[in-house]
Amino acid sequence: MFDIQQIRSQFSILDQQVNGKPLVYLDNAATSQKPNSVLQVWNQYYTEINANVHRGIHTLSQLATEEMELSRRKVQRFINAKHDFEVIFTKGTTEGLNLIAYILTQKLKKDDEIIISYLEHHSNIVPWQMLCDRTGAKLRVIPIDENGILQLDFLDQFLSEKTKIVSVNQVSNALGIVNPIEEIIAKTRKNSDAYIVIDGAQSAPHFTIDVQKLDCDFFVFSGHKMYAPMGTGILYGKQEILEALPPFHGGGEMIATCSFDGTTYAGLPFKYEAGTPNVGGNIALGAAIDFIGKVGQDAIQKHENALLEYAQRQLLEIENIKIYGEKANRTGVVSFNLEGTGISSDVGMILDKMGIAVRTGHHCTQPIMDFFNIAGTVRASFAVYNTFEEIDKLVEGVKKAQQMLG
């Protein structure tokens, strides 16, 4: 049975007050809070088995290695990868996308094309622009309509033998829109031999991921948005693709042999994990997956969708409010503005005085803001520990902001 109070009791940070008010944390699309079980595992690593991995024969090194590789296998099951060595530890989604853009450099030439969408985070725009600068390739962008929904007729028009990469997010961080990834992948497979990259930063925390069923070539996500420490993330890549592509960083851990005459590279996953990893964070990522598993991903999705539906219904009762992507299929996010009350940060500051944490601004998605001709939005984003009572406090705070700013 879903017990919200039992869940909340596992997040000690939620017990505090901010500006004299009980904390209402609604900035989960930026980063989630961490349950005590995750923090305990992280602390246990540093207080009991702190050692470098894969390199030592002594007991602590072996214990640390075992725990980190166990975490890798947990990630494998979490996303249903075929092999554990297809799971690469990274610092987060941004590093994963940059890694992919770098190792695909040799696969592109002048006038080849990369397709992304209007809904992308800057992390899924800038690395591809840099790749275009390196190779002479061209960037093509799937547009959106007034509801923020991707216009896939343009994808049909764009796909050709020139298409080498298609990279889109599964869920928009700014609007919470769930994109039709299965349809995008099917269209791409039918009309090109392009590499398919999926940004799962905003989907992995909210619903079940199955990379084999999706049949994507790469899938990236961040640990810190799904109850794990910051500085953790995952790059999934198909075995045959990762084996055929060059390394990203050079250094320790990623070599098989090294001499001044030349170097040979280690096999997967170590080929892409140069240097000392974030061992404690990676182990704690496994603990975060355990937490999600105990609550149940279906239960999390059902609760968060109910929160979103309730929040939208309550907010729309406020006069002169604009919710972006209101009619689209969404998860975890309501992004809005109070028309005629100035910039979104003014609303955010008033909410903060009431102990309510939301995100304001362009959310690293300036093209979306340009499309709607706005500077930014107020974004409330939900996690498993949020409550309907907190939504009521948000609505009360928005009404107060409207009175003060209107």
CATH number at residue 328: 3.90.1150.10
Residue 34 resides in a domain = no
What CATH number is given to the structural domain containing 134? 3.40.640.10
Q: Does residue 303 share a domain with residue 239?
A: no
Domain span at residue 392?
4-27+296-405
Q: Does residue 116 share a domain with residue 51?
A: yes
d(CA 343, CA 340) in angstroms, rounded, equals 9
Q: Does residue 192 share a domain with residue 234?
A: yes
Give Rg (Cα) of the chain: 22
Are 217 and 103 a contacting pair, CB within 8 Å?
A: no
Residue 216 annotated in active site: no
**Neighbour-count burial of 313, counting CB atoms closer than 10 A to its CB (0-12 exposed, 13-18 middle, 19+ buried):** exposed
Of 240, 263, 294, which marks where a domain is finished?
294
Count of domains observed in the chain: 2
- The pLDDT profile of the chain, 406 residues, written as one tens digit per residue, is 799 999 999 999 999 999 999 999 999 999 999 999 999 999 999 999 999 999 889 999 999 999 999 999 999 999 999 999 999 999 999 999 999 999 999 999 999 999 999 999 999 999 999 999 999 999 999 999 999 999 999 999 999 999 999 999 999 999 999 999 999 999 999 999 999 999 999 999 999 999 999 999 999 999 999 999 999 999 999 999 999 999 999 999 999 999 999 999 999 999 999 999 999 999 999 999 999 999 999 999 999 999 999 999 999 999 999 999 999 999 999 999 998 877 899 999 999 999 999 999 999 999 999 999 999 999 999 999 999 999 999 999 999 999 999 7
d(CA 201, CA 180) in angstroms, rounded, equals 16
Marked catalytic residue, from 132, 216, 258, 364: 364
Residue 288: phi, psi to the nearest 5? Answer: -65, -40
DSSP 273: -
CA-based torsion, 185, 187, 193, 194: positive or negative: negative
Residue 32 resides in a domain = no
Q: Does residue 16 share a domain with residue 74?
A: no
Neighbours of 274 (CB within 10 A): 18
Greatest C-alpha distance within the chain:
72
Of 259, 294, 329, which marks where a domain is finished?
294
Neighbours of 269 (CB within 10 A): 20
